[in-house]
């Protein structure tokens, strides 16, 4: 994949919709796989909406889906086109946006004409099937004009995340440009260092990167969504932000994935790095580290004595590391 990512291409030449994603959800009972229905003449060309790898094909007309092609997109999502008459690709095959993958049809329930002629395009948020009325995304929302770069929500989501959790400084424009690719490479390197990713450092956010990210994201959420602090509470890395200086502790955080500046702003990514350090060495406990290394004597509750020990640690680390 070269250059900026574009939005998705519709699977068929038509933009007419015979039943929308919301329409599928509004059915009684609701669709178990809400997607977008595009009416198209039997045998029309069906294309890959985006670059990716064919995850599954079904060449029999059985079941509610009939013949289908499922593609895992390089952006981490999955789509499948249903009711086909002919499948032209096979599982494991790489495809590119706009490449013909099938001929449209009306297959379902064991018949070539089990339904009216149309293609049903389903968009799943990740590389797995999630069935039920709330399992899918509205494909139409992600359609982008062919031939020119356009905003892609999932790219913007990742840019926001990489800025907040990884200290990147990306423009959140929803475009998959060189800077974003480089940031994803750094993220892949980090995921690899944590043992959460074994793939190539290529900047392509595929299934492996997504799986590693799921671990990192869960850790980040745990580290950053500390409940509001009562007056007396078990010390957490969030308490560090109340110290007058934190740049020495940011040096420690940087050894554990923090990429931001030593600026005394002990934000989400500083906390995540510090928490990773504590997890690795002190069972996740700030108090245990301060007792072991910085002369703190006391319980696990945050207070002035522990704050003084943390400040000693900060001052020494700023000077020494
Ligand atoms: Zn449908």
pLDDT digits (tens, 9 = 90+) for 182-223: 999 999 999 999 999 999 999 989 889 999 999 999 998 888
Average pLDDT on 252-279 reads 93
pLDDT in tens, 71-121: 999 888 999 999 999 999 999 999 999 999 999 999 999 999 988 889 999
- Which pLDDT value is given to residue 228? 58
Tokens 């002369």, located at residue: 295
To the question of domain 21-142 being in CATH 2.70.70.10, the answer is yes
Cis omega (within 30 of 0) on the bond before 307? no
Residue of higher predicted confidence among 110 and 1: 110
pLDDT in tens, 276-300: 999 999 999 999 999 999 999 989 9
65 CA distance to ligand 1 middle (Å): 9
- Which pLDDT value is given to residue 178? 84
119 CA distance to ligand 1 middle (Å): 7
Residue 75's alpha-carbon distances to 134, 187, 292, in angstroms, are 20, 15, 45
175 CA distance to ligand 1 middle (Å): 30
3-class DSSP assignment, residue 92 = coil
Domain spans, the chain: 21-142, 153-224, 237-320
Q: Which residues, by Cβ under 5 Å, contact ligand 1, an ion? A: 37, 120
24 CA distance to ligand 1 middle (Å): 7
Can you give 19-56 as a three-state secondary structure string? ECHHHHHHCCCCCCCCCEEEECCCCCEEECCCCEEEEE
Confidence of residue 231 (pLDDT cuts 50, 70, 90): low
């Amino acid at each position: 994949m070269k250059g900026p990512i574009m939005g998705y291409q519709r699977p068929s030449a038509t933009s007419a919709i015979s039943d929308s994603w919301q329409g599928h959800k509004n059915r009684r009972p609701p669709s178990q796989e809400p997607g977008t229905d595009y009416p198209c003449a039997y045998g029309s060309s069906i294309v890959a909406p985006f670059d990716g790898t064919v995850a599954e094909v079904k060449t029999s007309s059985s079941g509610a889906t009939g013949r289908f092609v499922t593609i895992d997109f390089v952006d981490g999502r999955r789509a499948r086109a249903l009711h086909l008459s002919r499948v032209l690709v096979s599982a494991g095959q790489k495809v590119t946006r706009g490449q013909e993958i099938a001929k449209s049809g009306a297959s379902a329930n064991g018949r070539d004409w089990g339904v009216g002629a149309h293609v049903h395009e389903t968009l799943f948020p990740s590389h797995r099937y999630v069935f039920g009325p709330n399992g899918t995304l509205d494909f139409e929302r992600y359609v982008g004009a062919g031939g020119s770069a356009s905003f892609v929500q999932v790219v913007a989501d990742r840019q926001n995340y990489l800025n907040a959790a990884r200290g990147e400084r990306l423009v959140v424009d929803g475009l998959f440009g060189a800077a974003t690719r480089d940031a994803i490479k750094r993220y892949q390197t980090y995921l690899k260092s944590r043992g959460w990713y074994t793939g190539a450092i290529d900047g392509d956010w595929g299934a492996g990167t997504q799986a590693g990210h799921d671990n990192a994201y869960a850790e980040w959420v745990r580290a950053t969504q500390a409940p509001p602090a009562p007056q007396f509470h078990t010390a957490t890395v969030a308490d560090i932000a109340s110290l007058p200086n934190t740049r020495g502790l940011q040096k420690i955080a940087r050894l554990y994935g923090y990429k931001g500046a030593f600026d005394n702003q002990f934000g989400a990514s500083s906390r995540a790095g510090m928490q990773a350090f504590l997890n690795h060495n002190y069972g996740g406990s700030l108090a245990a580290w301060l007792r072991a290394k910085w002369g703190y004597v006391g319980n696990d509750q945050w207070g002035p004595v522990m704050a003084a020990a943390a400040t000693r640690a900060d001052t020494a680390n700023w000077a020494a590391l």
